[in-house]
Structures are given as structure tokens and as C-alpha cells.
Amino acid sequence: MSNTKHEDAIMKMGFRYFRDQILKMLGIDYDYVDIGPTELVELTIHSMFMDFTFLTTEDFYIHVEFQTTDSGEGDLRRFHAYEAVFSHETGKKVVTYVIYSGGIKNARDTLDCGTYSYKISPVFLTQKSADEVFHYLQEKSRKGEAFSDEDYAKLSLTPLMSSGQDRKDTIKTAILLAKQDTRVTAEKTVAILYTLADKFLQGNELEEIKEVVAMTRLGQMLYDDGLKAGKSEGRIEGSDRMASLTKKLLEADRMADLQLALDDSGFREKLMKEYGIK
């Protein structure tokens, strides 16, 4: 399957939140040109890494990448190639920040390119503890205190922090904490956590997380919106078709595809054909 699922999940549910809250918490603090996501963000999510690019008000791009492994020179050459192509296409400078997960304590940041050196800015999450974040937020919840935007930003990054739990349980704990609230920020946090789960987990572990996400308000919201989209076609058949498509996409955990289908009639019809819905 293409990157549509991942791209839509982040771009529609949380890219501004990621940019304005999470990056600032990590010390990547810039002012950005704010025109629209399709013009400002180039997002590519592959099976082992995610790339974000944001245009700053200083007219250069920052490129942010999450890394759960350290391949040394190979990674640096890939980052360098990405920057070179992107800079050529945009005519602008690019600065790369690489956010390493809690299991990586140090990594090479400079590549000898002959007459010049290429350098990235590494961000290490080794000193950040997911368990401490959970304990703090559980205490706030017990006291009936609302989570702040900073709390949700930290919660979004817990799968990349050090923890006594395995990654699946870390993601599950984070989602369960986020789903206690029904605010938009909580839903954005769930969207980011789900994307990280889809990146890191496989098989039964991923299925377990899918079940947890499906029980959140986000899952219910997508189902309700699917029914509304069908009714908006103005006929019973349209409502029935959309209800069938919504059910199939939720069962397949293609929530981001469902989101896109709600906004794009052409993509919706493509999915109808894929599932044989007439």
C-alpha cells in the first residue's frame, strides 16, 4: 500500500501540532511560514523512517527525521542525498535534525565529502523517560487535572523514549492516557501514536494497538463522519454504500484512508471499486 495512510494521518490530524508543540519541546524552535499543509510540508513515511520538511520565515527548510537505528555513514549519505535533491528542487537551504529513539545514546553526525563536510544536528531522547511521563500524567489524571499541550507533546514522544516497558506496551499506555480526553489535541496525539505503532510494530502487537485505537473517540468520529458523507449524497443507496465502505475500512484499520475518502469523492469511488461496493 502507498504512503497515503501515513501521510493523511499526520497531515490531517497533527502536523501543525507536531511542528508547533513537539519540535519546540525538543529545542527545534523556529517561526514558520503558515500558508497551508500542501504547500509547506513534504512528508514521506517509509517502513523504517519518517521525514518532515517545514519552511521557516527565514526562507530555509528544516528537515526532521526520526531514527530508531544508527547505520552511521549510510544514514548520513542518505540524509545528504535527500538535502541535495530537495535543495535543488526548491532553491533553498535545508538544515537536518535527526531525532534518535531512547535506545541510541550517540551517533555520527559528520560525513567527510572530500572538499567539504556534511553535518546533521542530532537530538537524543535517551535522557527522557517514558515511565516518568506516564507517572506524572497518571497523577494529574487521578487529581482530575487537565493535561496541557506540553503534556500531550511529551506523551506523543514516549514511544521514542527510554522505558521499562516494551514499545508496544509503551504505545498502548500512551494511547490509553490520551483517550481519557475528548479534545482535539488528544485526538492528534492518538493519531501520532498510532502512526508510530504502525512504524515500529508488526503482527499481533500491531493488531492489539489497532483495537485500542478503534475504541477511541477518533475511531467513533471516523465512523460517524462516514455515515454523514453517505447521507450527503442525497439518496438511500449512497448512505448504504458509504456505511459499507466505512465498516470495511475500519475493520481493515484504514482510518486515514477513510478520512481522505470523506473529503475526496474520487478517492472514495476508487475505494468503493476496490471493495466491490456497488
Contacts of 256 (CB under 8 A, 6+ apart): 4, 5, 6, 7, 8, 9, 12
In angstroms, the CA 91 to CA 89 distance is 6
Grid coordinates belonging to 227: 455515515
Kindly provide the b/e burial profile for residues 103-116, where b requires at least 16 CB atoms within 10 angstroms of the residue's own CB: ebeebeeebeeeee
The answer to whether 189 and 211 are in contact (CB under 8 A) is no
Inter-CA distances, 15 with 12, 61, 106, 141, 168, Å: 7, 15, 27, 26, 23
In angstroms, the CA 193 to CA 21 distance is 15
Contacts of 93 (CB under 8 A, 6+ apart): 60, 61, 87
Burial class (CB in 10 A: 0-12, 13-18, 19+), 161: buried
Which secondary structure element, helix H or strand E, spans residue 227, and what is its range?
A: helix 217-231
Q: How far apart are the first and last CA of the chain?
A: 23
In angstroms, the CA 185 to CA 206 distance is 23
Tell whether the model's pLDDT for residue 17 goes beyond 80: no
pLDDT in tens, 141-190: 889 899 998 899 999 999 989 889 999 999 999 999 998 887 878 888 88
Banded pLDDT at 264 (limits 50, 70, 90)? confident
Burial class (CB in 10 A: 0-12, 13-18, 19+), 139: exposed
pLDDT in tens, 44-82: 544 334 467 888 999 999 988 888 888 899 999 999 988
In angstroms, the CA 73 to CA 78 distance is 9
- Write down the pLDDT at residue 39: 37
In angstroms, the CA 32 to CA 30 distance is 6
Grid coordinates belonging to 192: 501520532
Higher-confidence residue: 252 or 165?
165
- Write down the pLDDT at residue 225: 56
- Write down the pLDDT at residue 49: 42
- SS3 state at 251: helix
Average pLDDT, the chain: 78
Higher-confidence residue: 196 or 47?
196
In angstroms, the CA 8 to CA 272 distance is 19
Banded pLDDT at 216 (limits 50, 70, 90)? low
| Cα dihedral 161, 166, 168, 172 in deg (nearest 10) | -70
